[in-house]
Amino acid sequence: MNFTPAFTRTIRSLVLCFTLILPVTYLAGQATETPIVLRGAPADGSPQRHLIKTVYEQVKYPRVAREARRGGAYALAITVDDEGSTWQAMPLAQLPAGAEPLNLTIVAADDTQGAPVSGQMKVNADRALLEETETLGRYLVDIGFDRATEQVNPVTDTLYLVLYFKVE
């Protein structure tokens, strides 16, 4: 079976991300006594691996962003408290000081053959990337998060994900 060079690069990038990120990734920003985990993680598996796998299965690089060859970093803050969980998508620059996000890269092949890109296309692409980040936030919160350990007085905790969209 023959694959296009762009498809091969995309697969190579994803394998590289899984190889480099998974072994060293922790749910950063979490208090060690009350880590939060995405529901549905297998009992014999890693909660971090389950979260990353879920993100990569759900996030899609918007077509309009690929056509405009737009990328960028978008942050997703998921706050979990005793009432449940909420999310907020934002540009990366708005992350609070001291936040230690989980960094994920989403790569798409550049199949535009150098077609011109208008200013409006860029605006629409940036909006689509933020909307994709928001969609992921809604999806993860719908699944829900649990604390890995139970405490008498649970505290509010926030998980920060940064999605780096990149066209190659």
Please list the pLDDT of the chain residue by residue as tens digits (168 residues): 455 555 555 555 544 444 334 333 333 333 444 467 888 888 888 888 999 999 999 999 999 999 999 999 999 988 887 777 788 887 777 788 888 889 999 999 998 888 888 999 999 999 999 999 999 999 999 998 876 555 555 667 888 999 999 999
pLDDT digits (tens, 9 = 90+) for 103-133: 999 999 998 888 888 999 999 999 999 999 9
- Cα 12 to Cα 124: distance, rounded to the nearest angstrom: 28
Contact 25, 162 (CB under 8 A): no
Distances from the Cα of 76 to the Cαs of 11, 71, 93, 96, in angstroms?
A: 24, 16, 12, 12
Residue in the structure block whose two tokens are 């598996």? 45
- Cα 158 to Cα 85: distance, rounded to the nearest angstrom: 9
> What are the domain boundaries of the chain?
5-167
Gyration radius (Cα) of the chain, Å:
17
Q: How far is CA 116 from the centre of its chain?
A: 29
Per-residue pLDDT, 137: 92
β-bridge mates for residue 85, sequence order: 80
Contact 68, 117 (CB under 8 A): yes
For the chain, the first-to-last Cα distance in angstroms comes to 22
- Cα 17 to Cα 4: distance, rounded to the nearest angstrom: 20
Contact 148, 64 (CB under 8 A): no
Per-residue pLDDT, 58: 95
Prediction pTM value? 0.73
β-bridge mates for residue 162, sequence order: 75, 103
